[in-house]
Amino acid sequence: MSETQLLVGPFNRVEGDLEVRLDVSEGQVQAAYVNSPLFRGFERMLLGKGPLDALTITPRICGICSISQSAAAAFALADAAGGLPAPMGARVAALLHMVENQSDHMTHFNLFFMPDFARPGYAGRAWHDRVVDRFTAVKGAGLHAAVDARARLLHIVGMLGGKWPHTLAIQPGGVTRAPSSRDKIRIKASLTAFRKYLEGQMFGAPLETFAELATLDQLNAWETGDIGLFNEVSQDLRLDQSGIGAGRYLSFGAYPGPDGHVFKRGTLAGETPHPLDETAITEDVSHAWMLGGTQAPLNGQTLPDEAMREDAYSWCKAPRLDGLGYETGALARQAIDGHPLALALAAEASVRARVMGRLLELARAHIAAESLLDRIIPSEPFMAHIDLPRDGTGVGLVEAARGALGHWLRIEDGQIANYQIIAPTTWNFSPRDAQGVPGPLEAALVGAEVREGEDAPLSVQHIVRSFDPCMVCTVH
Amino acid sequence: MNMLWLQSAGCGGCTMSLLCAEDPNVMDLLDGAGIDLLWHPSISEMTGAPVRRLLEAIEAGEQPLDVLCIEGSILRGPNGTGRYHMLAGTGRSMLDWVQSLAPRAQHVVAVGTCATFGGVTSTGENPADAVGVQYDGGHKGGALNAEFTSRSGLPVINVAGCPTHPDWVTETLLMLADGALGTGDLDGFARPRFYADHLVHHACPKNEFYEYKASATELSEMGCMMENLGCIGTQAVGDCNIRSWNGEGSCTRAGYPCINCTAPEFEEPGHGFTETPKFAGIPIGLPTDMPKAWFMALASLSKKATPKRIEINATADRIEIPPTLRRPKS
């Protein structure tokens, strides 16, 4: 096969707009260039606004990670004020955030990722008919069950947050609604119903059984539920050998609160997690249609290059930690938290690893959500009074479903003087940096199989979607 | 009836909200109404080249199009080129695609306040020069001109909301499929009247506090949020408190103000979203259709008449004093 270039777009079943350019020869991807083709400019919109307006505006960066954005903004504002939310308010905020992340994980598996295996290109495989029944886009029975379960799970956000997406319930001092004992019972009922769905359909077994898997051999032997079906697909298509990443992972730590993080923060490169120094984060703009040089986010700028210069190819900046790109997401989170199966998967760094990491988190985070709800005491206050400073800086670091999300804020004279956001997919789908080093997805696509006649190679689709990209967050 | 859904410059939240439709879910609902999804970026199987071929076939008139749904604002920047949003894989701006496809559609539906009026994407300095499909804020004429009508003769149907309630979108589509949505069913901003003829204030659980102007002073207090916390539910259109969101939710039920997200230019209130602008200590905004003198007179009278239960509960985060029990006489 001679050298060709493929342009894949519109690349759907990802959140937002994505275009991937591939250099192909010898039936393999030789180089990939990932373009986020939409620029809205949220960081500029916020300039000159009252700091609290960030709580209304930043959730609207993203309709799928909306609560993550709320939480990051609330933490950044509280940090600027040197204040802490009321402990119970922090727990409710964490519960709201967990519900969104769980909803996103199951949406990804059922609606975005699995439908690709129902494609006619896989007809004849031993598992194909079953995948067609469960996961055909728009029609599959598993997909319908997932959408119904998701809508019911989000009743928790309806009750505590008014609606999903785009709640204003999460504030620097806590949350705007103090749940009653009756509310707590309803929320518990919603969580129990969701557990029933997860155990009955996706896992086919108690969540605890999956959460206790410790080795790849144990995982390979999992046969029940939709995850058993995915396991069969994955072993047949060798998804454990596809989309191999650099094996460098980053987590800001999930659900910080009065009890510490639910899932630890840190980095991972090799076998053991390390502490994270977020002051070593910079954003490179060498291949982005952005002006200005490499900056730490607290001093960062967002100056779009209206000329869209030739040597750049995306609106996405390239975040680096100590000069290196990092992969972030559920796999990173679970591995950095020290879960043995996640550590083994992180070493594998494949399509299968990312998807299984997410499913492992679905089980573990559900158990954590139940425990968190038990610790919410309705008789206590849910909001602390916090006064914002006229001048100051604040940082809000959280874990969205897709990974590390940071807000860096500077307040001058009571107004937002600078606001910089680095979203999970900014890390994962970053373009090349000044050294020409590709971002994590770009690197993971190298070597992907391109079959004769494919204009949107299936292997590429699996690899891209294994990251669960959120493109609207990426550039924001 | 077939439908094509495009995501322009927005957050995708209206689709995410749409997937919260219940009894039945959105797929069953559309299927049951005979609405066939040509393509939707979040849920359809088709990706890449086949999508491009579909768009080209519609543009060429080879593929009929009944409903074009557009979610997200349309970007005109930089410098009128629309290149801040190129539709991936096509080398053309979304602005160009929308202008080209809209005249082919029987109906054009703008979903969400970005698509209707520009919305949050046009906040502040409006860096990307965002507009709505047929409006630029409150002014007619956006990506499509003020006189545009689709092949049905209707203007762009503006299902405003940030995000939209799933039922606002599905009921609009179902009414179109049923031939039950005409010009008279749209309000002055082309919003479907079935939800836009209501105010968010209707069925707000804080109504008793409102009656006495018993006000919350900080978020998480139970009182009415009109006087101090920026709530404009008495002016905002929407049946949010009548039909509720995600089960039993709504903004005011969750203890934060209505920010009028169904309205043009809600993103620029001219003050903080959670504060009420006042003149001489009196809120500037009046409830819709309320004469100012009467509002002032009634407000000062009712404030004086506030029962202790309501006064105390207004600044508490839960009910401190329950309603007095009336015992049977015998």
Domains of chain B, with CATH numbers?
2-196 (3.40.50.700), 198-320 (4.10.480.10)
Contacts of B274 in chain A (CB under 8 A): 52, 55-56, 168
What Å distances lie between residue A390 and A55, A77, A394, A476, B174, CA to CA?
A: 17, 12, 12, 26, 51
Please state the φ and ψ torsions of residue B36, each to the nearest 5 degrees. -100, 125
Reported as a pLDDT band with limits 50, 70 and 90, residue B24 is very high
Q: How many independent structural domains does chain A possess?
A: 1
Q: Is the pLDDT of residue A3 over 90?
A: no
| B241, B203 Cβ separation under 8 angstroms | yes
Which strand ranges, in their side-by-side order, compose the sheet holding B2-7?
A: B36-39, B2-7, B65-71, B105-111, B157-159
Side-chain-facing half-sphere of B23: CA atoms under 13 Å: 3
Give residues 137 to 176 of B whose Cβ lies within 8 Å of A. Answer: 162-163
Reported as a pLDDT band with limits 50, 70 and 90, residue A272 is confident
Strand partners, A254: A263
Contact A147 B257 (CB under 8 A): no
Q: Give the C-alpha separation, B191 to B189, whole Å.
A: 5
Q: Is the pLDDT of residue A133 over 90?
A: yes
Cα-Cα-Cα-Cα dihedral of B237, B243, B247, B251, to 10°? 20
Q: What is the DSSP letter of B327?
A: P
Confirm or reject contact between B4 and chain A (CB < 8 A): no
The answer to whether ipTM exceeds 0.95 is yes
Name which of A138, A381, A456 is nearest B43 (Cβ-Cβ): A138
Contact A19 B244 (CB under 8 A): no
Q: Is the pLDDT of residue A151 over 80?
A: yes
- CA of B293 vs chain A CAs: smallest distance (Å): 32
Here the CATH number for the domain that contains residue A294 is 1.10.645.10
Please state the φ and ψ torsions of residue B287, each to the nearest 5 degrees. -55, 145
Contact B274 A52 (CB under 8 A): yes
Q: Which two tokens stand for residue B3?
A: 């439908």
| A226, A237 Cβ separation under 8 angstroms | no
Q: Give the C-alpha separation, A119 to A31, whole Å.
A: 25
Helices A225-237, A128-135: inter-axial angle, 10-degree rounding: 130
Give tens-digit pLDDT for B161-205: 999 999 999 999 999 999 999 999 999 999 999 999 999 999 999
Looking only at the bridges linking them, the beta strands covering A403-412 and A19-25 are unpaired
Q: Is the pLDDT of residue A1 over 70?
A: no
DSSP letters for B2-39: EEEEEE-BS-SHHHHHHTT--SS-HHHHHHHTT-EEEE
- CA of B153 vs chain A CAs: smallest distance (Å): 30
Name which of A11, A66, A116 is nearest B13 (Cβ-Cβ): A66
Q: Helices in A82-162 by DSSP H: which ranges?
A: 87-107, 128-135, 141-153, 155-161
Coil, strand, or helix at residue A472?
helix
Q: Nearest residue on chain B to A476, judged by CA atoms?
A: B11
- CA of A83 vs chain B CAs: smallest distance (Å): 16
Q: Is the pLDDT of residue A2 over 80?
A: no
Give tens-digit pLDDT for A422-451: 999 999 999 999 999 999 999 999 999 999
Coil, strand, or helix at residue B83?
coil
Contact B244 A136 (CB under 8 A): no
Q: Is A407 annotated as a binding residue?
A: no
Q: Give the C-alpha separation, A85 to B189, whole Å.
A: 41
Q: Give the C-alpha separation, B87 to A37, whole Å.
A: 7
Q: Which residue has the higher pLDDT, A257 or B83?
A: B83
Q: Give the C-alpha separation, B174 to B26, whole Å.
A: 11
Looking only at the bridges linking them, the beta strands covering B130-131 and B74-75 are antiparallel
Average pLDDT over residues B43-49: 95
Q: Give the C-alpha separation, B143 to B130, whole Å.
A: 9
Give tens-digit pLDDT for A157-168: 999 999 999 999
Burial of A230 (C-beta count, 10 Å sphere; 0-12/13-18/19+): buried
Contact A48 B124 (CB under 8 A): yes
Contacts of A67 in chain B (CB under 8 A): none
Q: What is the DSSP letter of B199?
A: B
> What is the share, in percent, of chain B residues with pLDDT greater than 90?
96
Q: Give the C-alpha separation, B1 to B64, whole Å.
A: 10
Domain of residue A243 covers: 4-171+179-475
Please report the sign of the dihedral spanned by the C-alpha atoms of residue B88, residue B90, residue B92, residue B93: negative
